[in-house]
Structure 1
Amino acid sequence: MDKGKTAKGGRRPKQHPRTHRYVFRLDDLDNEKFLRLFEASGLDSKARFITAVLFEREIRTVRIDVQANDFYVRLTSLFSQFRSVGTNYNQVVKILYRNFSEKKAGAYLFKLEKQTAELALLCREVILLAESFKSEYLDQKKEP
């Protein structure tokens, strides 16, 4: 073995080691604000967050509004149920005309039309509620 070329164990040395260290102190209010900004940034370490802020890199914050998301999921589910009601409506009309006389099918269709009118009123109420939720809650959140 050559005496000049001994094998070293351990980590490989970094190309650009971070050797400079800066220390600063925060009071309770500033520390709370700093921690909120750090959590909102989604970065994995405070050191990376601080360097990103200092060197004016873009910091992305993603806010998920749980209530608005829940509202969206439930509204989507409701409209999928409306679509399935429309499919069932078509199937019921076909079955009525196939299995009953013209007069009896007409009587059942009259009852079905009343229920459909009530469903249409309910759908209008849902749309008005969704619009009021959007204007009062979601648009208000966008403002600074």
Structure 2
Amino acid sequence: MPKEKGKSGRNPKLNPKTHCIMVHFDDSEWNDFLSMFEESGVYVRSVFLKAHFFGQKFKVLKVDKTMLDYYTKLSDFHAQFRCIGTNYNQVVKELRIYFSEKKAMALLYKLEKCTIDLVKLSREIVELSKDMEAK
């Protein structure tokens, strides 16, 4: 029976867990249990055991580490592209202010070549992403 709520402390639970069962596994059973537990995606082993024991449904989430790494690096790369776009605008403004028109046009020509290379690279990335998604 839960205690009455006092002036301080934690609120009493409505349905406290009062019974405990201990289970012993040999090495092969333990390895099987751990692999099933990891596939389930449940964060606590006791919750997994109770769900499995009482026949409750649980989802098995399989995470492909290579895809996760790929998307992480792709997101970082995209962030760098945004930074390049911001810097690009700043460079063009500075060229116009501090250089003569002829010198600014020569430097802009070099910048344009680099930009074309970046566009080609981004198209390759999009194609590789489509291939990866298809696989």
Indicate whether the TM-score tops 0.5: yes
Matching residue's letter, 2:45: D
Superposed displacement of residue 60, structure 1: 2.6
CA RMSD of aligned residues (A): 3.2
Please report the TM-score for the alignment, with normalisation by the length of structure 1: 0.64
Query: Which residue of structure 2 lines up, in the alignment, with residue 44 of structure 1?
Result: 45
Query: Which residue of structure 2 lines up, in the alignment, with residue 77 of structure 1?
Result: 76
Greater relative CO, 1 or 2 (CA 8 Å, sep 6+):
1
Superposed displacement of residue 56, structure 1: 3.0
Please report the TM-score for the alignment, with normalisation by the length of structure 2: 0.67
Superposed displacement of residue 129, structure 1: 0.8
SS in 1 for 2:63: coil
Measured against aligned partners, the alpha-carbon deviations of 1:32-82 in whole angstroms (never above 9, x if no partner) come to 76653234233413xx64553354312133322211111111000111111
Aligned 1:24-39 pairs, distance under 5 A? 36-39=35-38
1:37 & 1:113 partners in 2: Cα distance?
Answer: 55
Aligned 1:1-144 pairs, distance under 5 A? 36-41=35-40, 42=42, 43-45=44-46, 49=48, 51-53=50-52, 55-136=54-135
1:95 & 1:74 partners in 2: Cα distance?
Answer: 31
1:54 & 1:15 partners in 2: Cα distance?
Answer: 16
1:104 & 1:72 partners in 2: Cα distance?
Answer: 41
SS in 2 for 1:63: coil
1:16 & 1:110 partners in 2: Cα distance?
Answer: 76
Measured against aligned partners, the alpha-carbon deviations of 1:95-130 in whole angstroms (never above 9, x if no partner) come to 110001112211111111111111111110111111
Query: Which residue of structure 1 lines up, in the alignment, with residue 7 of structure 2?
Result: none
Change (3 A) 1:55 1:125: same
Aligned residues: 116
Matching residue's letter, 1:119: L
1:16 & 1:80 partners in 2: Cα distance?
Answer: 51
2:69 & 2:60 partners in 1: Cα distance?
Answer: 20
